[in-house]
């Protein structure tokens, strides 16, 4: 069985994401093994995809952009993201603890 694509540590939510840049729209595409696929419009050029992802996650999880940290994967499509004290969960990402 593969590892979960999310985990909680104190009040921080860690997400293992597979980013699909240059998609037709921004959406949470669903679990993919030990990652969660996220489609974004932005191209993977000059950090645009990372900036777009952080802005999207901050809005959807109800936090400021400063509360979203890219822990691993700055130049990769496989990313580990930390969200500090999310105030809501996107409907597509409802999680059971």
Provide the pLDDT confidence category of residue 35 given band limits of 50, 70 and 90: very high
Residue 31 in any domain: the answer is yes
Strand residues in the chain grouped as ranges (E): 6-9, 12-20, 27-32, 35-39, 68-72, 78-84
Asked whether residue 1 is assigned to any structural domain, the reply reads no
What's the full length of the chain, in residues?
A: 97
Q: State how far the Cα of 58 lies from the Cα of 62, in Å rounded to an integer.
A: 6
Whole-structure pTM value: 0.89
Q: What is the pLDDT of residue 95?
A: 56
The CATH number assigned to the domain holding 68 equals 3.30.1200.10
Token pair in block for residue 48: 């645009």
Examine residue 5 and state whether it is found in any structural domain, yes or no: no
CA distances to 28, 41, 46, 77 from 23, in Å? 11, 5, 17, 13
Query: pLDDT per residue over 86-96, tens digit each?
Result: 999 886 666 54
* 8 within some domain: no
Domain total in the chain: 1
**Is residue 2 situated within a structural domain?**
no
How confident is the model over 48-88, as pLDDT tens digits? 999 999 999 999 999 999 999 999 999 999 999 999 999 99
- CA–CA gap between residue 20 and residue 18 (Å, rounded): 7
Determine, yes or no, domain membership for 34.
Answer: yes
Res 59: pLDDT: 97
**Which pLDDT does position 94 carry in this prediction?**
61
Structural domain boundaries enclosing 27: 16-87
């Amino acid at each position: 069985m593969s590892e979960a694509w999310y985990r909680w540590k104190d009040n921080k939510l860690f997400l293992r994401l597979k980013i699909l840049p240059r998609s037709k729209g921004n959406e949470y595409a669903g679990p993919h093994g030990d990652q969660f696929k996220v489609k974004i419009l932005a191209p993977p050029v000059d950090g645009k995809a990372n900036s777009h992802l952080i802005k999207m996650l901050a809005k959807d999880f109800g936090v400021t952009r400063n509360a979203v940290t890219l822990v691993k994967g700055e130049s990769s499509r496989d990313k580990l993201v930390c969200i500090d004290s999310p105030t809501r969960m996107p409907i597509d990402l409802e999680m059971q603890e």
